Structure formats: structure tokens, C-alpha cells
Amino acid sequence: MVWGGAAAVLALWWHDTPSVVGAAGWLTGAGRITGLLAGYACAILLLLMARIPLLDRAIGTDRLARWHALGGRYTISLACAHVLLIIWGYSLESRTGPVEQTTTLVLHYPDLLKGTIGFLLFLITAIVSARAVRRRIPYETWHLLHFATYLAVFLAFGHQLSDGADFTGDRPAQLAWYALYIAVAALLAWYRFAVPVRRALRHRLYVSEVRPEAPGVVSVYLSGSGLAELRAEPGQFFRWRFLTRGLWWAANPYSLSAAPHPAYLRITVKASGGHSAALAHLRPGTRVFAEGPYGAFTARRRRTRKTLLLGGGVGITPLRALFETLPGEVILVYRARRPEDLALRGELDALAAARGAAVHYVVDEPAAYSSPLTAGALRALVPDIAERDVYLCGPPGMTEAALCALREAGVRRRRVHHESFAL
């Protein structure tokens, strides 16, 4: 879809460009192409984050998010190139300086002031999404600022139709562009707004209990009406919005830590920020707005009857739900910093005993129980690891080391199922 659309955009430019003459013509032509590609890329970026169930379950939320992030970098690069090339090309053609030409474009071309504001909003979004900045701001702040891209896309859309040489006077091209953006907007409105509101009114979720599990870790039980209709699967997650002071405006992703039950759902959360820490103080009866279920980290990815669940820290939560329900021969390896950080250990031991499965606990402290995350260490715990499907979930550093160790241990890439939930 991406490559086909890009080819169509290039065909549109080719059709509307009888000739390219001189440096000004080449620069302006390149500016038009990058602008068209950036406009198409914006629609694709929004589509990737529309939370369409077919894409979400087939591809996985975290992979869609990674594609979105990668595509965002390309889109910003294309938009910057478009601005610079157009100003440069027009400056050569009119024999004016870049500053004067920029002023003329922004103030005298229709909708270009709006386009400029949209471009600046894109730049701000790119800056706050850069890793060096992203790590220093709360998830809730980043998520809120990200909504500025909707306004940026709207402003840029109007500018393209008003000023784009490939659209002015070309009615079929205008209609195709409208159809593309209206279709994406309809999918966003339906799956990101209408469906969550409808489900909230139908299921009326509320907090029924908050239970401590480990230092800084709590389980939140949520009840409601017709929960089976949600069709949630072990390994999936919801975006939870707790309608209480200080939490109502943020929707954070937390995975289910137990198999979905007709009477309740459960999440287990570690205090790693202001939002997650506040969940320990939730009162029973607090209303909850939940979006989901999302994610493809489910039994559907399994290719063999032998499975290894490899988790670290609070990444045990979706693996706990899978450990309860996955058929076949299952081994769980759970890594944590200290023994007291092994959340849900009692439940894991009970499940292992009930199904005749093995659980291996690995901690960094004390050192006598520590084990490096290497191919050799994994083979020692799971001798037939190369024959298994592996479900992996944990902190970024742990998962990166685990992926390298699994490859060295002979596990095929297609058998490693990984979701980071770092959205």
C-alpha cells in the first residue's frame, strides 16, 4: 500500500509536469514530489494508529507503533525537504533572496500561512518524539502533545489543495485526495472515538478491588456488565482511563495479568511514574473508561506445542495470563532484580503445579542466584529451546539482550513473539 501510493503520487507529478527546465525547475519539481509524498505519508501514519482490529490482531500494536515512528521520521524529512526545495526553487525563478521569498509565500499564497503553522506543529511533534526528549517527559504529556498532529494534518491538507500545482485544476486528483483523507478520518473517528464510547456505555466498568502484589506493584480488579462480549484474549491489553481526580485525562496501556473472566478483568501495575503509582490509591467504585482489547501477543502466534515464556520485571503480566491458558508444554523463565520483586509468584507456582509446568526464577541479587541472559544460560534452563516458540516481554534492555541470546541459541526469528508495550 505504501509503495503503491508513492508510485501513484509520482505518476500524478509526471502527468502534470510537461517539462523541467533549469535549476529552478528541478528544485521546484523535487519540492512538489516531496510535498506529495509527505501528504500521502501523513494519511498512512494516521491509518497505522487508527486501531483497526484487523491490522491490530494480524500485525500487533507494537509493530504498528514502530512502523508509525519510522514513517514519522521519513514524513518529517520529506516535509522539511519540501519546504527548503520550494523556497530555493522559487527564489531562483524570481531572483529574490530566501527570506524575501519565504515572506512572499507565507503571506500572499492561499492557505500557506495555515500550512506553515501545520509544518511547525509537525516539527514540535518530531522534537518531543525524539528519544533524547521522549525519555525526559511523562508518557501522558507526550501523548497529549501528539494530538497536535491532527491539527497539523488538517492545516497541511488545505494548503496542498489550494497551492499544489498537481491539484489545482485537476478535479480527479482532488477527489482522490479527498477520498483518501475522508476514509482515514472515518476510520479514526469510528475506532478511536465511537467504538470506545459505545463500549463504555455498554460495559460500565468500575474498580472493584486493589490488591498489593509486591513492593510498588498492585493488581487492579475491574468489574462491569457483559465483559465476555469484549472478546479479550490472554496477552492483550487495554488503554485504561480512570475517572478520578488526576487520572481522568490520561489513557495508559496496561496488559491483562490474568485470563479474562466473565465477572472481572485484572491488570497488574508497577509504580514507575505518576500515573502508575496513583493506581495503588484507587478507591473501589471508581468508574473506568477502557479502550481495547489491543495487541497480537496471543496464542494465535504460536507455531509449535512447545512454548517458552521469558519475562522480566512487570513484563510478567501478559505472560502470567498466557501461562494460565496456553496449551501444550510450557516453561516460564521470570527474571527480576530481587526475590521480593517477583510479582505474582504464588499464582505462578500454583499454575505450574496445576498444569505440570516448570517455572525458573532468576534474580540479580543476591549474586548467588544471578544468571547472565546469554544463549548458554538459556540452554541450561531450557535444553530444547531451539524447538520452542518464545513469548518475550520485559524492560527494553532486558528484551534487547534476550533477542540476541535467543538468536544465538538457535531460535528462529519467526518463532520469537515480542511486544514491548512502550507506546
Mean pLDDT in the chain?
A: 89
Q: Is the pLDDT of residue 48 over 70?
A: yes
Q: Is the pLDDT of residue 419 over 80?
A: no
* Lowest-confidence region among 11-15, 129-133, 292-296, 383-387: 129-133
Rounded to 10 deg, the angle between the 112-129 and 148-163 helix axes is 140
Determine the average pLDDT of the residues in 258-276.
Answer: 89
pLDDT bin (cut points 50, 70, 90) of residue 404 is: very high
The DSSP letter of residue 368 is G
What is the model's pLDDT at position 133? 78
Q: Is the pLDDT of residue 7 over 80?
A: yes
* Cut 0.75: pTM above it: yes
Which residues are 269's β-sheet partners?
Answer: 218
What is the model's pLDDT at position 405? 94
Q: Is the pLDDT of residue 422 over 60?
A: no
Architecture of the domain spanning 204-294: Beta Barrel (2.40)
pLDDT bin (cut points 50, 70, 90) of residue 177 is: very high
Which candidate, 44, 9, 38, places its Cα nearest to that of 188? 44
Residues near 172 by Cβ (< 8 Å), separated by ≥ 6? none
pLDDT bin (cut points 50, 70, 90) of residue 421 is: low
Q: What is the pLDDT of residues 114-138, one digit of tens each?
A: 889 999 998 988 888 887 777 777 7
Determine the average pLDDT of the residues in 297-318.
Answer: 91
Q: What is the pLDDT of residues 56-115, one digit of tens each?
A: 888 888 888 889 989 999 999 999 999 999 999 999 988 889 899 889 888 888 888 888
Element (H, E) at 196: helix 195-203
Architecture of the domain spanning 299-419: 3-Layer(aba) Sandwich (3.40)
Q: How far apart are CA 349 and CA 352, in angstroms?
A: 5
Residues near 68 by Cβ (< 8 Å), separated by ≥ 6? 45, 48, 49
What is the model's pLDDT at position 181? 94
Which candidate, 104, 124, 290, places its Cα nearest to that of 195? 290
Distances (CA, A) of 5 to 37, 119, 127, 223, 271: 9, 22, 27, 45, 44
Q: What is the pLDDT of residues 238-265, one digit of tens each?
A: 999 999 988 888 788 899 999 999 999 9
**How many other CB atoms are found less than 10 A from the CB of residue 284?**
11
pLDDT bin (cut points 50, 70, 90) of residue 148 is: confident
Distances (CA, A) of 195 to 37, 69, 226, 281, 292: 31, 25, 15, 29, 9
More confident residue, 35 or 2: 35
Determine the average pLDDT of the residues in 324-339.
Answer: 92
pLDDT bin (cut points 50, 70, 90) of residue 396 is: confident
Pair type for strands 237-242 and 252-255: antiparallel
Q: Is the pLDDT of residue 392 over 70?
A: yes
pLDDT bin (cut points 50, 70, 90) of residue 314 is: confident
* Lowest-confidence region among 4-8, 16-20, 37-41: 16-20
What is the model's pLDDT at position 420? 67
Which residues are 55's β-sheet partners?
Answer: none
Q: How far apart are CA 51 and CA 188, in angstroms?
A: 8
What is the model's pLDDT at position 423? 47
Q: Is the pLDDT of residue 140 over 70?
A: no
What is the model's pLDDT at position 359? 94
Three-state secondary structure call for residue 166: coil
Sequence spans of domains, the chain: 1-200, 204-294, 299-419
What is the model's pLDDT at position 56? 87
HSE, side-chain direction, 13 A CA sphere, residue 407: 6
Determine the average pLDDT of the residues in 267-276.
Answer: 84
What is the model's pLDDT at position 369? 66
More confident residue, 59 or 423: 59
Per CATH, 204-294 and 299-419 having the same topology is answered no
